[in-house]
Amino acid sequence: MAKATRVIIIEQAYLLASGLEALVGELHGVYVEHVYHGSEPNLTEKVLGHKPDIIIVDPNSLGEQFFSIMKAFQNETDIKVVGLLSDNAPNPIKGRFSHQLNRNHCKFDLLEDLKKIIGNDLEKKPSHNQKLSNREVELLKQVCLGLTNQEIADKLFLSVHTVMTHRKNITKKLGIKTVSGLTVYALMNNLVDIREVENRG
C-alpha cells in the first residue's frame, strides 16, 4: 500500500466544503484530514501541524489574511497549495497559486485536475510484487518460532536493523501485523511445522 495523501481544506462555505470533501473522497488513498473555516486563530500553525500533502484554499475564506497566510504556506516546499477559484478571480490572487481547481467546472474535469495535481503520489500505488522473497520467508519462519529480533539477527548473520526492515516489509506485503497472525499465515502455507511452533519457548 502506498502512503495516503492527506488533504487540508480551508473553506468557510459549508456547501463548497462538503463538495470538496466528496470530490477528494472519490480518489483512492486520498483523505481529507481536516476542514478549517479560515477564521480560526493561529490558522497557519494549525494547518501545518497536520503535515498535509495538499492544502486546498478558498481565498474568500481567508479575507485580509490571505497574502500573509499564503506566504507561510509557500515556504513549505513539500506541500502543494491549491486555490479554489472561480472564472473571474482577480489575477493577483490567481497568481499566488501554482495549482488551481475551478469552481465552475463539472465533476469530471475537477477529478482530472485533482489527479494531475496529486500526480506521482497517486501512481506509485501498489507495488506489483507482493510475494515474499526467500530471505523474507526464512525470516518469517524464525519469527513464528518465537525468536526475538536479536536472536534472528545472530542466527541469520544480519544486523538487528536489517531484521526489523525485513519484518516491516513482510507486514506490508501480507497485511498482517501481529506475530500470532503471521504464525497463522505461515502454518496455513506450510512454511513452518505446527510441532515446531508448539515447541517454541
CA separation for the pair 168, 172 (Å, rounded): 6
List the one residue from 178, 195, 198, 201 that touches another protein (CB under 8 A).
178
Smallest distance, another protein to C-beta of residue 168, A: 14
Residue 5 in contact with residue 119, Cβ under 8 Å? no
User: In what side-by-side order are the strands of the sheet with 5-10?
Assistant: 30-36, 5-10, 54-57, 80-85, 99-102
Smallest distance, another protein to C-beta of residue 20, A: 14
Q: Report CA-CA distances (Å) from 114 to 55, 57, 108, 158, 188.
A: 12, 13, 10, 44, 42
Nearer to another protein, 21 or 121 (CB): 21
Smallest distance, another protein to C-beta of residue 87, A: 31
Bridge partners, residue 56, by sequence: 9, 82
- Here's the x/- map for another protein, 116-155, by CB under 8 A: it reads as ----------------------------------------
Work out whether 184 is an interface residue with another protein (CB under 8 A). yes
List the one residue from 4, 26, 181, 200 that touches another protein (CB under 8 A).
181
CA separation for the pair 171, 132 (Å, rounded): 10
List the one residue from 37, 174, 191, 193 that touches another protein (CB under 8 A).
174
Map the footprint of another protein across residues 44-103, applying CB under 8 A: none
Beta strands in the chain (DSSP E): 5-10, 30-36, 54-57, 80-85, 99-102
Nearer to another protein, 2 or 194 (CB): 194
Work out whether 185 is an interface residue with another protein (CB under 8 A). yes
Q: How many other CB atoms sit within 10 Å of the CB of residue 158?
A: 17
What residues make contact with another protein under the rule CB under 8 A? 174-178, 180-181, 184-185, 187-189, 194
